[in-house]
């Protein structure tokens, strides 16, 4: 579910001729994205079912993260 949504968004961005080719080249889909950071409560790990990230040199910027839950 998450991978189909993010893959579709990524494909639409890459097919849009009004968006710079540099932007489309640096947009990455990651099906196993995670973030680890220190908060006031200690070490926190976030794992998403999928994410679109933008690469700027060696740095990745999270653009969209999707987490699917069932209740």
- pLDDT tops 80 at residue 70: no
Q: What secondary structure does DSSP assign to 1-59, as a single string?
A: -HHHHHHHHHHHHHH-TTS-HHHHHHEEEETT-EEEEEETTEEEEEE-SEEEEEEETTE
Q: Confidence band (pLDDT; 50, 70, 90) for 71?
A: low
More confident residue, 71 or 21: 21
For the segment 45-54, the average pLDDT, to the nearest whole number, is 80
Give the separation between CA 69 and CA 12, rounded to whole angstroms.
25
Residue 36 φ then ψ, to 5°: -120, 130
Domain ranges for the chain, please list them: 2-66
- pLDDT tops 70 at residue 19: yes
End-to-end CA distance of the chain: 16
What local confidence, expressed as pLDDT, does residue 32 receive? 73
């Amino acid at each position: 579910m998450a991978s189909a949504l993010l893959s579709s968004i990524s494909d639409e961005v890459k097919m849009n001729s009004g968006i710079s080719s540099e932007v489309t080249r640096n947009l990455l889909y990651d099906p196993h994205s995670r973030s680890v950071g220190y908060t006031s409560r200690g070490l926190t790990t976030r794992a998403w079912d999928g994410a679109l990230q933008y690469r700027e040199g060696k740095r990745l910027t999270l653009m969209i993260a999707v987490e699917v839950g069932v209740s």
